[in-house]
Amino acid sequence: MIEARDMTKRYGDLTAIERVTFTVAKGEVLAFLGPNGAGKTTTMRILTCFMPATEGTALVAGFDCFEQPVEVKRRIGYLPETPPVYQELTVTEYLTFVGRIKGMGTAALRAGLDRVVERLSLGDVRHRLIANLSRGYRQRVGLAQALLHDPPVLILDEPTVGLDPKQIIEIRELIKSLAGSHTVILSTHILPEATAVCQRVVIINAGRIVAEDQPDRLSARLRRSEKLSITVKAPPADLAGRLRALPGVLAVFEPTDGGAFLLECALGRDLRDDIARFIVTNGWGLLELKTVSITLEDVFLHLTQHEAGMETGSGTTETQEPTL
């Protein structure tokens, strides 16, 4: 449904993105992750025909974003980082105006307006001036205009900015409900958001794609060992040494505040049963034993810091994806 091939955007001597390539399948929800200034918004603007790429191509639903921008725009709903709302209009007036620009007929516009007002809980404010709405409600109005014509493709640039925790959960659930019937690109630097709603992740840093996969697969690629956290009620003074002597245990890190011991174990070995039996048999009191997984945040920090280190060390912005 979406295909970017070697997209590059330059502003004079500044290269915002370089040779960005990825695809999004029909009905997929993709997270486009990166730190501020990584090139996320530039990529979104090219895909929505806001500006052309300097090099490369972008296709949406089979239409070229440079050669056929009108056809592309008919098939996308776009929420930019700053919602494009007219504050002197009421919510209903604004959405009606947007619907007419999109070429919606009277019946389709009325049905679409009722649908998005209900879906985004705008009923109580639909007749209020947008200027008098909170930032969270303005964000919801911006999302409503993207959904109004029920497009097959949604491109959302930081869609939960300015929302309170309850509203964030509601918007995340809405995005998840769109999977299958809509293709969604969600640009964000909020990692829990990507984990909560997206099936696949693309990580961009310094204008280049540094990783692309499902979140759990990215974590697996980075993992070099199994990690366990254990909390013991009455640990002996030499517990770390005793645990380190167990077969399969590579390292033991003692708590600095009386908390949990962290065990690093051989990759692919599950030592939970052995360690639990060892502690219980000795009567030390096992309070907690759990695996410690590598989060998407760990992956993100590893990849972006690695890329930054390569740039600093080499004096150039040319990078390659690190071996995980």
Per-residue pLDDT of the chain (324 residues; tens, 9 = 90+): 899 999 999 999 999 999 999 999 999 999 888 888 888 889 989 999 999 999 999 999 999 999 999 999 999 999 988 888 999 999 999 999 999 999 999 999 999 999 999 988 899 999 999 999 988 889 889 989 999 999 999 999 888 877 788 878 888 888 888 888 889 998 877 777 777 788 888 988 889 998 888 877 776 666 667 889 999 999 998 999 999 999 999 989 888 776 789 898 888 888 999 999 999 999 999 999 998 776 666 666 666 665 554 444 444 333 333 333
DSSP E strands, the chain = 2-11, 14-24, 29-33, 55-60, 63-64, 76-79, 153-157, 183-188, 200-205, 208-213, 226-232, 249-253, 261-265, 286-291
Longest dimension (CA), the chain: 77
- Closest listed residue to residue 43, CA positions, set 171, 159, 209, 218: 209
Q: Which two tokens stand for residue 285?
A: 């009191």
- Residue-level pLDDT at 206: 86
Region for 62 from its dihedrals, namely left if φ exceeds 0, alpha if ψ lies in -120 to 50, beta otherwise: left
Q: What pTM was computed for the model?
A: 0.70
Tokens 């992750």 identify what position?
33
- Residue-level pLDDT at 313: 46
Residue 219's SS3 state is helix
